[in-house]
Structure 1
Amino acid sequence: MTAAIDGPRVAAKSGKARQLVVFLHGFGADGNDLIEIGRQWRAFLPDADFVAPHAPERCAMSPTGRQWFPLFTRDPDERWRGVNAARPTLDAFLDAELAKRGFDERSLALVGFSQGTMMALHTGLRRATAPRGILGYSGIHVLGAAQPGSERAPQTPPPPVLLVHGEEDELIPAEALLLSASSLADMGVPTQWHMSAGLGHGIDNAGLIHGALFLAQSFGVKVEFGRR
């Protein structure tokens, strides 16, 4: 039986949700770390509900925070075991949130930061039907020994992906963006990327704007500047 997870929410600005955007936080944080982005993005996505679930485990290295899976080393096998172990819990949460609204997968987008990006890519690329888009900040596409697809059935169509990374990231080097984009391209996943100059392990305003426009485009929402 999978663990039940939940977290803070921001309701659709229009009062009638047609899309669902799920934020997946990083190692040692919780859903409160990202939900404020949803408030900022309501102007771009007025028909979207935003939810940021707390990861299922207490963080071993930050007792007040949460983790999707333990991280003690930078061993790729540890990350691969972790994303696979955490995926059923996230899948169950996504299924429940979609069912609650009567939505299908094409109304869903996943947004991750750091460890949350690992979860967004791993889970989103293995859903029976692809989400409308996957946006990953400061993370990496985790692969197992069976590269390049790592036990993944192709999705038709695959979800568009945008990866955003800080050029000066001290925790997950910027090279991870290029490696991830390359591995996704090898899997036939359409991938865009943006590198934020001078940024460390975080999200800057340029990254937020790129992300909001990517999600709006993915959902087919027209953004009119100056009339937000």
Structure 2
Amino acid sequence: MNSPASTPESGPDGYVRTHVADGIGRIEFHHPKSNSLPGHLLRELAATVTAVSETPGGRVLVLPSGCSGPCCAGAYFDELTAISDTAQGQQFFSGFAGVILAMIRAPQFVISRVHGKAACGAVGLIAASDFSMAVDKASAKLSELAVGIGPFVVGPVIEKKIGLAGFSQMAVDADWRDAAWCERHGLYARVYPDVAALDGGVDALAATLAASNPDAMAQLKRVFWAGTEQWDALLAERAAMSGTLVLSDFTRQAIGAFKAR
């Protein structure tokens, strides 16, 4: 089954594009501000992952971000500073929860393609994939504490992927970890010297998985993510924590200072 992607021009609101062919479902997202993720893109991305996972022709999912530059800068700061109450704050951070849950509950393996730096919520999306492949310049960091909040929503999936020690190191010391560190700790499964090699590796693995037994992969997927059955409630609770903290004077000043750099 082939499902040609729509190809809208990249506007100020960004896009999510899909293409399903030869058993591979590709879901590409992009935002002109460093591939950041405003609420509407998070909701669209979660819905698209779910929809493509239910497409009969998609036996493996590939999740890249569009264009060059950073892979993903995480939350969209303009939207963060516009949050005016706790309900709105929880709703925004729940967007990341929605994407994480869609990825780990899809019956197919999800491969993340990391072509550049990844920060904050992006690290959570990478951790929510079943296999991540990156270039050697794809450093990663959790800088939430530096702007007055914390990696609460993405924390459970990062901890499950790289362990408590690795997660706490990233959360406490909000500095960049290079791709070698990410590979050693299991955030990245494979690291390549450039984007061309990365794309070759992604395509080869996706083709191999598309020819594999879908029932076996689905059962393996359930094994990988056992223990996450109650994450709807857990991530909602974590989103409320972030949604409250983002309203504090400390956080607003910290985000303002960060944007002014």
- Normalised by the length of structure 1, the TM-score is 0.40
Structure number with greater CO (CA < 8 Å, separation at least 6) is 2
- Normalised by the length of structure 2, the TM-score is 0.36
Which structure dedicates a bigger proportion of its chain to strand?
1
Choose 1 or 2 for highest CA Rg: 2
